[in-house]
Amino acid sequence: MEHDQIIQLNPVIHAPVRLAVLSVLMTVEEAGFKYLKKVTQTTDGNLSTHLSKLETGGFIKIIKQFKAKKPQTTCSITDKGRKAFIQYIEQMEQIIEKQKKNL
C-alpha cells in the first residue's frame, strides 16, 4: 500500500472514538448512549458529536425515545456502516502487511 492509499482511509471512521463506537456496534444489535459513553470513556458532549458525525455519514442509526418518562438514546450500525468498517479494517490490514514486509 502506497502513501496515497494510506491517506484514503475513511476520515469519519479513523477518529478513535468513532472507530470504538463502530467496533462495538459491529458486535451487538444496538447499544445505548450510556454504554457507549462508558466503553469509549468520553463525555456526553464529545460522544454526542461523534455519534452525529457517524449518523450524518450514514454509518449509524440513532433512535431517541422515552422509557418510563426518561430519555433513552440507542444506536445501531447501518449496512453502509458495516461495509465501511470492514473496508477500513481491510485497508489497515494491508498497511500492516506492507510494514511487515519492510521489516
pLDDT, tens only, 10-25: 889 999 999 999 999 9
Domain 3-102 matching CATH 1.10.10.10: the answer reads yes
Q: Which of 63, 46, 53 is nearest to 14 (CA)?
A: 53
pLDDT at 95: 83
Element (H, E) at 77: strand 70-77
Domain boundaries of the chain, sorted by first residue = 3-102
pLDDT at 84: 96
Q: Mean of the pLDDT values across residues 27-41? A: 97
Please provide residue 65's backbone torsions phi and psi, each rounded to the nearest 5 degrees: -150, 175
pTM above 0.85, yes or no: yes
